[in-house]
Amino acid sequence: HRHLLGIEGLSPIDIEALLDMADEAVDVSRQVEKKKATLRGRTQINLFFEPSTRTQSSFEIAGKRLGADVMNMSVASSSVKKGETLIDTAATLNAMRPDIIIVRHHAAGAVHLLARKVDCSVVNAGDGAHEHPTQALLDALTIRRNRGRIQGLLVAICGDILHSRVARSNIILLQALGARVRVIGPSTLMPAGIERFGVEVFRDMRKGLEGVDIVMMLRLQRERMNGSFVPSVKEYFRYYGLDAEKLSAAKPDALVMHPGPMNRGVEISSEVADGAQSLIREQVEMGVAVRMAVLEALARNLPNG
Ligand code: CP
């Protein structure tokens, strides 16, 4: 593959190969000397049109650990603010001869469009409510390292499914590797026709959590909601916030995940987020490793790679 635009289009073999490479990247990242030379002499541009803490910083660290020259494009102070279009911005950056561009954009499909306009490799770091492939890969890596496998696990993805690119990428990946997936949330935050993805749908969180191995919480994305549909925080937490009492419906050794950023007291209690069953910090560490693996895989397909 020249680009990574989504989990859709990756085979189970592609996914397992990336996870194997990411396991090796975890070992590299835990050494005192963390540098490899895979991307030495290569230029990586991080182009984020939406805010990010985890994804942007981990792509920067991943690129630097592989020896790339990494440039973080500051969109807020760029000519995008003067009305330059996505395509013109892409053409401008392309003329500087980067090898890899990492893109986050608020519009679904924008990253695919950009990939058609540039000569280099493109990685989707989140496009609207469409896909966030490296998030799903880092979630899978975290699960595999803790459970030894994905096959046969029962995973519940809970909350604001409607606005979530993380949910979409995870549903595709987890099912490709043989997990069963449930989605839990209020009807107003459930995409129409979600059943077509082969998931079981629950409105009641306690019923949905019964017997699950992995509880994956999602952020309530209030910034993407039309004002009239924003639920009250108190009511949302009561029905869909993961606290110790609701978590007790899952398997006793169920593991809790959240892609971040978390809204404590909205979709998850601090007790659970910081509790013994939480993998949230480990997900962040796996984020760097997965992004190193993706960059290394793309490097093989760069000219002279
Ligand atoms: N999980 C995730 O994508 O976090 P950021 O928005 O902070 O990158």
Cβ contact 75:48 at 8 Å = yes
The CA 303 to ligand 1 mean position distance, Å, reads 30
Q: Which of 47, 55, 103 to mutate to test the pocket of ligand 1 (most atoms within 8 A of CB)?
A: 55
User: In 3-state terms, what secondary structure has residue 181?
Assistant: strand
Cα of 259 from ligand 1 centre, angstroms: 7
Compute the Cα dihedral for 299, 300, 302, 303 and give only its sign.
Answer: positive
- In the numeric block, which tokens belong to residue 69? 């020259």
Of 144, 145, 221, which is closest to residue 177 (Cα–Cα)? 144
53 Cβ closer than 6 Å to some ligand 1 atom: yes
- Do the Cβ atoms of 81 and 93 come closer than 8 Å? no
Q: Give 201's contacts (C-beta < 8 A, 6+ positions apart).
A: 182, 183, 184, 190, 194, 195
For 166, residues 6+ apart whose C-beta sits below 8 A from its C-beta are: 132, 135, 136, 139, 218, 259
pLDDT of 34? 94
Structure confidence at residue 74 (pLDDT): 84
Distance between CA atoms of residues 239 and 206, nearest Å: 9
Beta-carbon contacts of 70 under 8 Å, excluding residues fewer than 6 positions away, are 44, 45, 46, 59, 60, 63, 64
Spell out the alpha helix ranges (H) of the chain.
12-29, 54-65, 86-94, 110-117, 133-147, 165-176, 205-209, 233-240, 244-247, 270-273, 280-299
Atom of ligand 1 nearest to the CA of 126: 3
Angle, in degrees to the nearest 10, between helices 133-147 and 165-176:
50
Closest CA to ligand 1's atom 6 = 52
CA-nearest of 145, 137, 93 to 119 is: 93
pLDDT at 62: 98
The reported pLDDT for the residue numbered 151 is 98
Whether the CB-CB separation of 198 and 245 falls below 8 Å is answered with: no
Tokens 């209690």, located at residue: 269
pLDDT of residue 227: 60
Cβ of residue 106 lying under 6 Å from some atom of ligand 1 = no
In whole angstroms, what is the distance from residue 152 CA to residue 212 CA?
11
Q: How far is CA 41 from each of CA 10, 44, 156, rounded to the nearest angstrom?
A: 28, 10, 43
Secondary element (H or E) of residue 73:
strand 69-73
Between CA 147 and CA 241 the distance in angstroms is 25
**Separation between Cα atoms, residue 106 and residue 69, nearest integer Å:** 26
Contact 184, 166 (CB under 8 A): no
Tokens of 175: 């099912």
This model's pTM is above 0.90: yes
Q: What is the DSSP string of 219-260?
A: ---GGGS-GGGPPPHHHHHHHH-B-HHHHTTS-TT-EEE--S
Cα separations in angstroms, 139 against 82, 108, 126, 182, 290? 37, 21, 15, 16, 9
For the chain, residues with pLDDT lower than 70 are 226-229, 305
State whether the beta carbon of 55 lies less than 6 angstroms from ligand 1: yes
Summarised one tens digit per residue, pLDDT across range 169-221 is 999 999 999 999 999 999 999 999 999 999 999 999 999 999 999 999 999 99
